[in-house]
Structure 1
């Protein structure tokens, strides 16, 4: 913690709140898990960090079993945390939002409704026969329930919507961030959130890597280059870029895209400079502080966007981040 606040001089931090772990059985919150979250929030708050809590991962009991028999390619049938929420579980998600707002409201900056809901890993399917906007429509139902819960407990707590992944192919697996946001705009969803969030990564397979360069297809991708595409849709809303980074080793979870450590540091500086030019953008969150790799798993399943390497040693990007302010 001292590194974040004293050495790196970070001002923000984002924590994932796993709904499966907090409420493994319907109506019964796991007090041990909440105690861990309590301690983490208390520690971060006392360090002076502004906290965004992001809810994610649908519990099995809340999942619509009708979708379990038609999984994404290469996956077996059965429960996964990305299947749509059951209609009768929306009330539970509302109560979950109320619990979080009531418990942490004065100590956090915002609650973020889900993570990358335009991506199959977090919400699947994105499309069904007769409904090309199924993913976004499902998300809007969740957002309404969540926000109602939050506001019933503490109207001062901000709700962030979106948290969209940078790329979408507008099929069963992915919805472009533009299409996702436009659906919310048409549905007049702005009343249900206080700020919008997005993850403007440069996607794997990109011809150009730098933050200021165009993506391969600006019609289906939103990076820092064309962020205005989203800003214009919600001109009265503050924006939070709640994930961003560059891998310095191959990571299949990021499409195998990597840059050198030297370029990572350069692009970090460029990214913060570019984001800072938009008055609507209130924060850009670098993901991660330190590289991670699954215990016993293959190296290419790790995440190497960190400011530190796996062994804890500092990359050039660590110094670049420290010198931003």
Structure 2
């Protein structure tokens, strides 16, 4: 490494979830890395979570936002105070991750320092508590239909549209990575700007990684590094109303932002996508999620951006 310990700002977004955020901070504090700060952005919580977090972790930096303006806006709010680039890296974290290896951040920074073309790098992501199951290895985009997906060992409705590959390299190249644990080089913010705020939630990581790649940076996975993603927060998440709405809506935004690359099969695929997701939710009697899917598709077609009908 060019420096023994380049400086890192670890950013965690909290929204009315004291339990997961406090567990994430506690786990992060066990890191062996010697030069990082923790910044928690509270995204307009109306409960007592921010107050309780301040009391429990007085050495953590807290930023309170008056209203929930989405994931990208929260991350950008934490990056704004360091526009002088006093940190070498920003580590964007979901509050539902657990750090099983105290050397995780050390290994990620070392990989980034060894290849200055890397703009963003993530560890391999495993489910928790079922840590034998992979949640994320590699993110790819099927440009023919505008479908971003990531390779895992989970069964999925749309596996037919995915490629099957054997990933043997320690460092993998991606079209995109999910921002549950993304180490971003400060030069990326300088050259590309902040994370898109108009998506509010979901797909902003896909769009941002596309912009980062277009700027000449690489987006990588380090299979040597491992992080856990809590099942309690993610296992049924895709069928809840908030994710259902924004996943349906923002795929239309992603199409509009990349219509020069996405084929006309996007329209047929979108119809198949919504029908299969409705059938899946109907089978599980998740009627409110079906309504959210339909509203999200409607708003996406109309071009509604930023915060929508949920939360």
Q: TM-score, normalised by structure 2?
A: 0.28
Give the structure with the higher percent strand. 2
Choose between structure 1 and 2 for higher RCO, CA contacts under 8 A separated by at least 6 residues. Answer: 2
TM-score, normalised to structure 1, is 0.27
